Structure 1
């Protein structure tokens, strides 16, 4: 949500995704994740507030100047005007600070590396930026994606506030803690187990779930380090197991566990057992209803100890039903109000637990119940989520705030969107971000600031190496947003065919 700008604004962005470095190796183009919030940062800090922006990336942006100019020009309805001194003035408000490091280390580790002379010079740039704008009375903040002890220390050294909950609360984002928070908020969850740290304990817990009639289960590493569903494993048990003698059920489950389907294809069951010893695992009933929407709520805890609803989405998941690929906004009207109510309840419990300030997200499963829907709590993320960048971009482009029922309205006209982080095809490899920008802005589907509809690109740098990029498609109804996404795919295919 945008903030009232009574003071000049200055923002430092280090959008480090601090999950397992091994996980970052698995997710295609993940080293570029810190780039996702560049567009929203430019639109909301520079274009809307006339503020100063310092954005750190590693590896560096590909076609950085073209990307920055693209975002700066999105709100201009006059191409000639966009190329005049006003655009150049705004360009001076944006500073991109790259580090030449494409490793899967966290961005914060790259910036704070004590052995790197380049990192030391970047930290000097951060200090100068913070000091300069604090002296002018500006509201200077360090923006980052999730709680981080290293970035909290950096914020203290820069003498500026950070934007996420205290890192001391990271354990509240684990799978088991999430189930406890759902219970405290009065939100139902799928049947599940206690935390297990070895296969014997896990087999005993799964036995209890089998006796309760559960046959398809998802095993979840009890850690905040594994996003994208890659900490999960699927276990399907034969119906005949329930008729086995009591003393052999647990033994059969022990033998079945190594046959679980691991969502991370790069690890073995032995690897998973090692991870289980480190972080623990819970077993949870796998809900297999069709359809099975996965709506999500995004909230914000204020410095005053209050809770705000930010947005709701329906998530678009991969074929395994575990990994996030995109979203549609807003969540379906049939259950949107319930999501908002439940999401605020979770926020209130977090405040009671001492969390003060920062983003949080709540994922649900929506199960058909008669003519309506029943919501089950799935996961709590004590950080920004993958829906933050499209929502923040849409709010900035539309100049709108969500209504109490979770919609975006401009002059009584409702706007919706479809967003994807995974527009990917091997044939896109070798394309440059500048080519994508030129193709989209030169086509009818590019964002129109007058109509307030169209396609906005994001996370474009991975397209060269991985054939992957992202986009936000804003329409006045779901059909228009979906059509824009389809036309973008067609445009990308035409672009590759013409090379």
Structure 2
């Protein structure tokens, strides 16, 4: 799916004028909780290439990932409208509202309006809303327009058009700036910021050019063993493939000619090792002309990790760091996002904060707004230091957004930049393990109500008194796909791990008779150990 740009200059000027109103509303949006008095329109549209999205199992339910926003109803003056493609199960909504400390359930429920397009087709939610004028009118009528803002998963011209039609500012980056969140745009930002990143190419739009830039990269790095081929707009590593050069090592520079290397690489393309399930070269190559692609040196190393840093650019143009994580990756070559641990290892978390801030300031110069994330590869060197290479930028909410925001909104705590730790109001540092991908065949058939029974019986829920426990999400994926998301929060890394392990153990025991053959995280057992991380 190609998403078209806003059609004329007048619309662009009107959109930018509407966005400027965010500066005046900033204090109410992200100021002290007691000052908050806003109407929040949540449109969790995954407005990305739908064929790429189909590679994510259970994508139909990923609109649930922004349900952490319901916790903002903790303030008795906030109101929230949440729109989805198909209606959410009532038990899921009740679950989130019961998390609110000190607020009567009925009071919070009266300030929540749930709307649906009743359309499960493979189109972005924002497009579905735009196709329904009566629904648009109902949303607009329900909002206090002078106190409203809209949040989304990612920002495209669809969200900008929706913002304009409703007269509600979009708390997200201008769609015209989304280039900086692509693979090639990320590399440009890294270069301009002076941030270490793997050698690679700019964007190309043909298989022939891809072979040329791959040969050029090989000639710059003759000892290169592997390189990564990335669709310019792939998500969660699903648009990545690995090109193994060792199979044509006899043509490694200085042997052979440039023409021979290009030909040999072209011949290897159909044998790429894809990270997405059931991906084929025929499909992948057909996307190159549409989305573009890059090649990048594969970062080798015996001990590697994948940390990330999350930041925010305010409507005032200020960049700030929100969190760091160690990502848990899977797939054939460890490039597909499965989950995360918070915070990142203290050996490098302050360093990635500094790099993330430098990148955030560069993005702010470009005019970017709201969430951004930067992924890294960290390789342990012989001297015990970690070599950090920036891999890509996400100008959208990602897999680390909802667990951290869940923690922040539930505890009303603070992130301390000097330590890279998050502290509750009681001054306790908090840790968690989170995933979107706890998936086992034996979980199939569990309904949301069944999960609620299990949570209640085994006391798996988040305890607002101790501020520990598990918060569940993606519950709509459970019955059909056996897939569930969760964030297990503890006062130490070990406690967070123990809480997570208890959840898995209970779910396994409760569903033992369903299916004795299962696979956690599709292909791999989730690596629960904290791998010797020191905190």
Same-fold call, TM > 0.5? yes
1:227 aligns with 2:235: yes
Whole-Å separation in 2 of the counterparts to 1:368 and 1:216: 19
Whole-Å separation in 2 of the counterparts to 1:23 and 1:278: 12
Instruction: Give unmatched runs, 5+ long, in structure 1.
Output: 114-118
How far the C-alpha of 1:340 sits from its partner, in A, is 0.8
CA contact (8 A) 1:367 1:373 kept: yes
2:442 pairs with 398, 407, 427, which one? 427
Query: Secondary structure of the residue that 1:402 maps to in structure 2?
Result: strand
How many residues get paired? 475
Whole-Å separation in 2 of the counterparts to 1:311 and 1:254: 41
The Cα offsets for residues 390-414 of structure 1, whole Å up to 9 and x where unpaired, read as 1110001111021113211123311
CA contact (8 A) 1:140 1:160 kept: yes
Whole-Å separation in 1 of the counterparts to 2:95 and 2:286: 46
How far the C-alpha of 1:470 sits from its partner, in A, is 0.5
1:203 aligns with 2:211: yes
Distance 1:155 1:199, change over 3 A: closer
Whole-Å separation in 1 of the counterparts to 2:464 and 2:100: 5
Whole-Å separation in 1 of the counterparts to 2:256 and 2:50: 44
Structure 2 counterpart of 1:480: 495
How far the C-alpha of 1:263 sits from its partner, in A, is 2.5
Question: How well do the aligned residues superpose, as a CA RMSD in angstroms?
Answer: 1.9
1:89 aligns with 2:107: yes
Distance 1:93 1:442, change over 3 A: farther
Structure 2 counterpart of 1:116: none
1:304 aligns with 2:333: no
Structure 2 counterpart of 1:55: 82
How far the C-alpha of 1:50 sits from its partner, in A, is 4.2
Whole-Å separation in 2 of the counterparts to 1:181 and 1:251: 32
Query: Secondary structure of the residue that 1:303 maps to in structure 2?
Result: coil
Whole-Å separation in 2 of the counterparts to 1:197 and 1:75: 49
The Cα offsets for residues 28-87 of structure 1, whole Å up to 9 and x where unpaired, read as 11011111111x2111x212454111111112212x2x222222222448xxxx8xxx22
1:3 pairs with 28, 31, 48, which one? 31
CA contact (8 A) 2:207 2:285 kept: yes
How far the C-alpha of 1:378 sits from its partner, in A, is 0.2
Q: Superposition pairs for residues 34-45 of structure 1, below 5 Å?
A: 34-38=63-67, 40-43=68-71, 45=72
Distance 1:219 1:158, change over 3 A: same
Which stretch has the larger CA shift, 161-170 or 99-108?
Answer: 99-108
1:366 aligns with 2:397: no
Q: Superposition pairs for residues 182-201 of structure 1, below 5 Å?
A: 182-201=190-209
Instruction: Give unmatched runs, 5+ long, in structure 2.
Output: 1-28, 515-535
The Cα offsets for residues 133-163 of structure 1, whole Å up to 9 and x where unpaired, read as 34xx6x3111111112122222222222111
1:414 aligns with 2:394: no
Divergent runs of 4+, >4 A: none
How far the C-alpha of 1:103 sits from its partner, in A, is 2.2
Structure 2 counterpart of 1:316: 328
TM-score (normalised: structure 1): 0.91
The Cα offsets for residues 157-213 of structure 1, whole Å up to 9 and x where unpaired, read as 222211101001111111111111011111111121233333332222222332322
CA contact (8 A) 1:313 1:330 kept: yes
CA contact (8 A) 2:240 2:275 kept: yes
CA contact (8 A) 1:32 1:58 kept: no
TM-score (normalised: structure 2): 0.85
Whole-Å separation in 2 of the counterparts to 1:265 and 1:281: 19
Which stretch has the larger CA shift, 91-100 or 321-330?
Answer: 91-100
CA contact (8 A) 1:317 1:326 kept: yes
Q: Superposition pairs for residues 327-406 of structure 1, below 5 Å?
A: 327-355=340-368, 357-369=369-381, 370-404=383-417, 405-406=419-420
Distance 1:151 1:248, change over 3 A: closer
Higher relative contact order (CA 8 A, sep 6+): 1
Q: Superposition pairs for residues 99-114 of structure 1, below 5 Å?
A: 99-113=117-131
Distance 1:148 1:3, change over 3 A: farther
CA contact (8 A) 1:24 1:30 kept: yes
Which stretch has the larger CA shift, 431-440 or 453-462?
Answer: 431-440
Query: Secondary structure of the residue that 1:287 maps to in structure 2?
Result: coil
1:20 aligns with 2:35: no
Structure 1 counterpart of 2:136: 123
